[in-house]
Structure 1
Amino acid sequence: MAYFKPDRYFSRLSQISIEKDILGCGFENVLLDIDNTFVPRDTQVIPRDARVWLGCAREAGVTICLLSNNWHKVVYDFADEVGLPIVAKAMKPCPPAYFTAMRKIGAKRKNTVAIGDQLMTDVLGAHTVGIKAYLIQPLVEQDLPHTLFLRHFERVLMGDAQPEAPVACERGEEVRI
């Protein structure tokens, strides 16, 4: 059951403190899911708070690789827009894409955390390869049919777990990407 238990649980990406929750926990690298973690699945527009978070992470020297099961051109365009490396068609929770993403950014397991919105893909995949996993609530409820089906199991596994209390970005200002 520990494979499905996130190491930390947050309401949004922007609630993860770069200083305390990333660097303060010994992480230098982040494997970041895209759909419903960094951008809403319904709009594909980066929320302002996610842009601020990314800017804070970059300023702090955190290295990020996007890791997505999505295979459409939009995720590659998105990676270009934000200037981040990407491993798409990841087939999470299968391990190979995690190792590929870590190789792309020169990461080691001990200093890498995966951040995503799904237990069955993001958390399970990270734990399978021996890295920590932070779960966030999905940005929107709209999702693919198979993902909505898996969300029922996630609710059972999470029980009455609540996200950690919110924090603000250390700098509190938007950094242009």
Structure 2
Amino acid sequence: MRIEEEVFLEDYGLRRKRFVYDRRVHHSYVFVAGNETYTVIIGSLVEEMTFSRIGYEMPAGVPFPVNGMAEVYFDVFDGMGNLADFRHVRFEGLGSAVVLQSVSLALIAHNEIFHIGGFVFQAASGGVVDMGRRITLEEIYDYMLGLKNEPRYNKKTGLLKKAPRPLISEDLQAYKTVTEGRANYVVLH
């Protein structure tokens, strides 16, 4: 896979690489958190037919944006050769907040540069994905996107935890559809 462009986005502290994969333009945003290097890969989805073929759905009554969508993948960076082999990243404590904030910054940077209609991504749920997690991956995304705001309690003390703050701005709207073993998320302007 050939990198067509590589730019350092000083305002965000991210390195962006442009490449073509599966006949779609992709951008990889690389960052370091703790002792790991991560990448957020954002693939262009300019046609609704490609969007649907991959398995995504627009929310009922919401048209596909004229300026397209972007599909988001996130993983520990181990080279550009394994794009189809994304694992479920595990991290503990404050490191998770730093990583998720960096992912959010990559999405903000991408939107500011390319002015897309929204983002779409999938989260596997249940089974191996959630094994050993205190909160499921699907719940994490629901809280991050403001789709869930139920009170949470500390299991040891029984005390109420601080309400999670959504990581998306108020001008964005998140939607979720659940299919067999996957939660599909669409975030629109």
TM-score, normalising length: structure 2: 0.29
User: Which protein is richer in helix relative to its size?
Assistant: 1
Pick 1 or 2: higher relative contact order, CA cutoff 8 A, min separation 6: 1
Q: Which structure: larger Rg? A: 2
User: Which protein is richer in strand relative to its size?
Assistant: 2
